[in-house]
Structure 1
């Protein structure tokens, strides 16, 4: 309850009660001090309580704004890491096998395939066709393009070592 929370800039106790959390001895001392300060004047105590409530509302609004800013920043940070994937019908892709985590092999790849894309469906879904001509639909985030059939043009050859024969 007294741990400081970075995103909202307050402790949970401060959000709930509008003041810092103290030990019971300090609270009792402050209560006596507050009653002596106010001299049991109900009007002054009422005004102070109203001011405290307004201040608490401002603290809560500040915490809400800080939380909103924190969520926007973390969303932007994670959205930057998402790479756009543009697939077309007829492309070759590899499919990520998420179930391999349960029984991993040391050198076994989690990517299976290649598969052909039959159709790109709305909202990121992709219809794939396997080797046995069976069609199934997967989430587009689970596939990546397969580049085995792309031919890289050869440029001038570069020797890997210098021959010392002269």
Structure 2
């Protein structure tokens, strides 16, 4: 069984030839590809508007015009949306679990698991018609209408850990 090996000088010569061909092709492509110069439009100074000096009468005429038309009125909220807001009652907090509390400077954030979704909330945000009232290091307080409730941060113990009974 004889193996045919390529001699090292042949490998070196092949690599050098490949590099030389690559360089020549790169140079040819450099000259072949045309690049357009950046188009800078000529700035026609004469086409610019002249500085107009306004007289006091021009300014008075502008100030005398009303800013808005007389029939302008604020947009009123529709009665349907107001009725919907009034009928929405806060139900008890369902399927909500407090996962963690993050205290960073003045920013207080609570991580909640709401119906299999992880949500981060801060004071003032609404979850299931309950408003987050305050976040402390150990609990999150919720307020809805005249009701108030809190979720405490409880560390769950895995089932594999058994506590020993003392005698």
TM-score range (shorter-chain normalised) is under 0.3
Instruction: Identify the structure with the greater strand proportion.
Output: 2
What is the TM-score of this pair, normalised by structure 2?
0.24
Question: Which of these two proteins has the greater Rg computed from alpha carbons?
Answer: 2
What is the TM-score of this pair, normalised by structure 1?
0.24
Higher RCO, 1 or 2 (CA under 8 Å, sep at least 6)? 1
